[in-house]
Amino acid sequence: MMRRSILTLLGAGFAVGAFACGPPPQQAESIGQESPSYEADKATLTELVEVFDAGMNAGDADAIVALFVDDGAASMPPNAPNVYGRENLRAFYEEFFAQGAVAVDNQVEEIFVDGDLAVSFGTYTLTVTPEGGEAMSDSGKWVAASQRQADGSWRTLRNAWSSELPLQEM
């Protein structure tokens, strides 16, 4: 039962707003990424994934929740109900971190920016090691939508992720 619980939450290693690189050049023009702010947005979004991974690896739910918008934040974890609102997200991550030590690495495959919205796609690898237990690993893919805030910062609005492990392993 603990293995199923941890594997259900393993997907928490998805990048909650993980952004790092842009789409291939032939796509950029069609989605507004030729704007002067694109490179600055990309740098800011790249920093978000680093902060997310650091928060995950430190078991810091507050650092993770700070990456979400104040109103309307939601996560769609695999094999579990959607999680709405920052307080529920905090509880979700606190429960996840109670399962054991976390090591996560998120990679970005694409990012699309159009005005004040950004969507990115990527992959993750994640290992959770319960105290006194055997390490469990997962890998998968994620998608995240972020919104530019009034102060120019970016925060995660929505995210979803899924494991690439076969269902029978869960």
pLDDT per residue as tens, the chain (170 positions): 444 444 444 444 444 443 333 333 333 333 344 556 887 887 788 788 788 989 999 999 999 999 999 999 999 998 899 999 999 999 999 999 999 999 999 998 888 889 999 988 899 999 999 999 999 999 999 999 999 999 989 999 999 999 999 876 55
Ramachandran quadrant class, 85 (left: phi over 0; alpha: psi -120 to 50; beta: rest)? left
Spatial strand order of the sheet with 154-163 comes to: 83-84, 74-76, 154-163, 136-148, 117-129, 101-114
Q: Is the pTM of this model over 0.75?
A: yes
> What Rg do the C-alpha atoms of the chain give, in angstroms?
16
- The SS3 call for residue 38 is helix
Which residue in 136, 132, 129 sits closest to 102, CA to CA?
129
Q: Cβ contacts of residue 91 below 8 Å, gap of 6+?
A: none
User: What does the block give as tokens for 126?
Assistant: 């994640």
Which residue in 69, 68, 91 sits closest to 81, CA to CA?
91
Q: Cβ contacts of residue 112 below 8 Å, gap of 6+?
A: 23, 27, 31, 33, 118, 119, 120
